Structure 1
């Protein structure tokens, strides 16, 4: 007799029904029938063994031996680091292309000045729409489809829930965008407070040491390493790196190179991993980027060692400077001399609105206004084609699109020169 079945099952990875065809072949009464069921993808197979009898009392009996044994190819392996990076680069290329097209649409509708002013908003909004139409809806991104990857929850090995998908999108796009807008103001407030505290502590230390009243004749007394002044000076000098998430990203990337688990910090927080759904040959080897992980760890270790050694030499430098200084001549400082003001990078050196006499050779009137922000020049800078803009305006513009805003001639940021009067 010839028997065949069509078995319908549900595939959680493809999120839909799957029809598998099984044909056991021919058998007679009293013989053993072997059945092998292979799914449509060819990755999973189940072997069954039946004993057939006469038609009047025929029945199917499962042997004591494991008759139901899934093939080892049934289990999808976790994706390696090259697959994950390739998928990320593909999505990054597609999103950058979409951002460029979105900026072109906004520039055509609202003008170049509006598109330049809200370039960051356009970029993040486009990325948010891209991942909302793919990841948030439970679909794979184009990069994941290109690399045959499927995203799963690491703890349950199920497709990600809507909460995790939305949380991943918000933490990977909106949270960095918010920090980018809030951190400069926060750093400015902390820096001003630290500068006042450092100046107050320096004055108090000088008064206690007698540097302001009489010459110092006695030998310098060795101070403890961790003092309030030194801690505040260290925080003031390294404020940007302390309030940055770059070290956390570096550690996360180094861990990814070793394990291949989480490329994004947001995926590590929400525990989202990839599996590789393409059939792998037996002789095909899956390689990783462990060598890059070793190099990155060595770089972090060397930088940490150099930083610690630099901190260890600070007390000796302070003692030497105090011993060589005369009465009231020099106040000890750690790295930055107190005479040099720590100005924020956003403060212009030449502001033609506050100081009309600056760069006096620029004619009065509209020629002293930037065509991008329509305000008086702040640190006027000239491009290779001869047009003048504010330094911040032309810098942001050239970073997004390396061309002159007026004549569209190619401009490199390294070729933009600030003007001085």
Structure 2
């Protein structure tokens, strides 16, 4: 009787989904612990400014200690699945593992950090602003295909041709669950987005046609102003760690007479983000007060109130001059 090498069955969809969910949970826990440590060293304001770097370091640390060492992630270990190359049938090479770590993390960090530095009118700037939306659509298409076929859950793994095998033997008496319904729902969403994009393009062409004929296009979005200052220019301000701090007495966006305010009352004017006396006091929709630069910098990273976690919209911030 000839000897046959043992073969491993391909991983099931449920195993791959649970593996990614567990990795997400462990990444979130590692991020919270790292935030707690860095907050005691840097403070909340500086930690907010370095939020992208902390997220990048968390992912590089987690996947570098697992994928980089050619071992299972905690999610893959939980579901007993292994990644292997569909081209060679072996474990991913060092170059493939490096690409698997850097491709999902480094480009998104570069675009988030320096994408706004390019002018929106330039070709590179417009492409960089459209690239995240294109990648999001491609990821959703890939996920819809996964729900139908169960092969590649991640877009990067599809590009690198990395598949999963399971160390658990397949049970012929059980039928694996089907996720085709999720694929249908996701495909419906993609069709709606495509229809909405076509409608937007047709509307834009109509506005351009009307503008060429000397007519004001209907539905033109008017710029919002606060004290004769466009809101877009206020939101596009770039915070800098090297910018000089403005004292409350020198704040041009307040009408308070600090000489008549007691030190106890001034102590209650501290911003909960920078832990310093507020400048350019700004109120959120939920009624909490922060410095303008602090809450705008926070809102760019997390669209939620730092205190009550209510949803936060930068265009709904209200500057207050007498608080």
TM range (shorter): 0.7 to 0.9
Is 1:388 aligned to 2:290, yes or no? yes
Secondary structure, in 3 states, of the residue corresponding to 1:151? strand
Q: Which residue of 2 aligns with 1:255?
A: 145
Is 1:190 paired with 2:94? no
**Mapped partners of 1:152, 1:419: distance in 2:** 55
Q: Aligned-pair distance for 1:78?
A: 1.7
Cα 1:142–1:108 shift into 2, 3 Å: same
- Higher-Rg structure is 1
Rounded to whole Å, the distance in 2 between the matches of 1:128 and 1:120 is 12
Distance 1:302 1:385, change over 3 A: closer
Greater share of strand: 1
Candidates 112, 127, 130, aligned match of 2:44: 112
Q: Secondary structure at the match of 1:297?
A: helix
Aligned to 2:215: 331
TM-score with structure 2 setting the length: 0.73
Q: Which moved more, 1:141-150 or 1:269-278?
A: 269-278
SS in structure 1 at match of 2:47: helix
Q: Are residue 292 (structure 1) and residue 222 (structure 2) matched? A: no
Partner of 1:346: 235
Residue 63 of structure 2 is matched in structure 1 by 131
TM-score of the superposition, structure 1-length normalised? 0.57
Structure 1 residue 412 corresponds to structure 2 residue 310 = yes
Cα RMSD (Å): 4.0
Which structure shows the higher helix fraction? Answer: 2
Report how many aligned residue pairs link the two structures. 293
Distance 1:316 1:176, change over 3 A: closer
* Aligned pair partner of 2:255 in 360, 369, 388: 360
Q: CA deviation at 1:242?
A: 6.0
Distance (whole Å) between structure 2 residues aligned to residue 371 and residue 283 of structure 1: 59
Comparing 81-90 and 251-260, the one that deviates more: 251-260
Change beyond 3 A, Cα 1:255–1:378: farther
Cα contact 1:153–1:160 (8 A) shared by 2: yes
Tell me how far apart the structure 1 counterparts of residues 36 and 170 of structure 2 sit (CA, whole Å). Answer: 43
In the alignment, what sits opposite 1:68?
2
2:193 aligned counterpart, secondary structure: helix
How far is the alpha carbon of 1:165 from its aligned partner? 0.5
Is the alpha carbon distance of 1:315 and 1:142 closer, same or farther for their aligned partners in structure 2, counting shifts above 3 Å? closer
Taking CA–CA contacts closer than 8 Å with sequence separation of 6 or more, which of the two structures ends up with the larger relative contact order?
A: 2
Unaligned runs of 5+ in 2: 225-229, 238-244
